[in-house]
Amino acid sequence: MVKPSKGTLYIVACAAGPAKYIGHLVTEAMSRGWIVRVLPTPNAMDWLPLDELEKQTGFTLRPVVSSSLPAARRAPPPDAIIVAPASFNTINKLALGISDNKALDTICPLISTKIPFVILPFTNQRYYARSPLRRSVSALRREGVSVLLRPPPNDMSIWESALALLEKSPKGFCPHPAGTGEGIEYPWFDALDEVERIQSKGDGGSHIPLALGLGTIIAGLLAYQRARL
């Protein structure tokens, strides 16, 4: 058993395909020394293995009267936040400041603070193409939230295509074609790595995965040009 040392991690889970496998993220976070609390959105309650998560984390996910735990355990305040899988609805609500459920009411006030705040979306290309999602992602990033969302290959600009060639292991979620989300690989651990990166630097904000200097930009353009030949 790893002794918790990194603090308390809140994981907000939305009603999306990968949610039923959230135990992978919980197990990995606890093995790295985090105390983990899972906060489901109301629609996610039917997607999660509630009994297993309550037993694993020691925190209730449901009202105490229906919980498998004998008594409620009060969770410490969060030292870091991950929203995963983050749905189209939840991303837009967070950007607009809508906190109409317990999970969002808990984390909305913590945006723009020094607490590492990471969103790992799960969305298809049709939702990604919608302007509300793009506006929301941009707004959240301006407020210091790290949104791990990569454009699909057919939607990349010249610059993004060049950078993709330079990044050996791109981080974050890439939207899938509509109707193909079942069984696709979801990068759970990218969110945890990002939280720990922010925590180690103490910057409490978002970043661009690949640092850009003049040399990097030139190299990226050259790589893109070679790939087009």
What is the tens place of the pLDDT at every residue in 135-177?
Answer: 999 999 999 999 999 887 665 554 454 444 444 456 888 888 8
**What CA–CA distance (Å, rounded) separates 206 from 84?**
16
Q: Does residue 180 register a pLDDT over 70?
A: yes
Q: Predicted confidence band at 69 (pLDDT cuts at 50, 70, 90)? A: very low
Q: Does residue 206 register a pLDDT over 80?
A: no
Which DSSP helix (H) or strand (E) runs through 217? Answer: helix 214-228
Instruction: Specify whether the CB–CB gap between 79 and 108 falls below 8 A.
Output: no
Through-space distance between the first and last CA atoms of the chain, rounded to whole angstroms: 54
Which DSSP helix (H) or strand (E) runs through 10? Answer: strand 7-13
Percent of the chain with pLDDT over 70: 72
Q: Which residues of 141-153 are buried (b: 16+ CB within 10 A; e: fewer)?
A: beebbbbbbbbee
79-98 pLDDT tens trace: 999 999 999 999 999 999 99
Q: Predicted confidence band at 19 (pLDDT cuts at 50, 70, 90)? A: very high
pLDDT computed for residue 226 by the predictor: 52
Instruction: Find the range with the poorest average confidence among 25-34, 102-111, 146-155, 201-210.
Output: 201-210
pLDDT computed for residue 203 by the predictor: 59
**What CA–CA distance (Å, rounded) separates 103 from 196?**
22
pTM: 0.80
Q: Which residues pair with 147 in a beta bridge?
A: 119
Q: Predicted confidence band at 195 (pLDDT cuts at 50, 70, 90)? A: very high
**Neighbouring residues of 26: CB distance < 8 A, sequence distance ≥ 6:** 11, 36, 38, 53, 56, 57
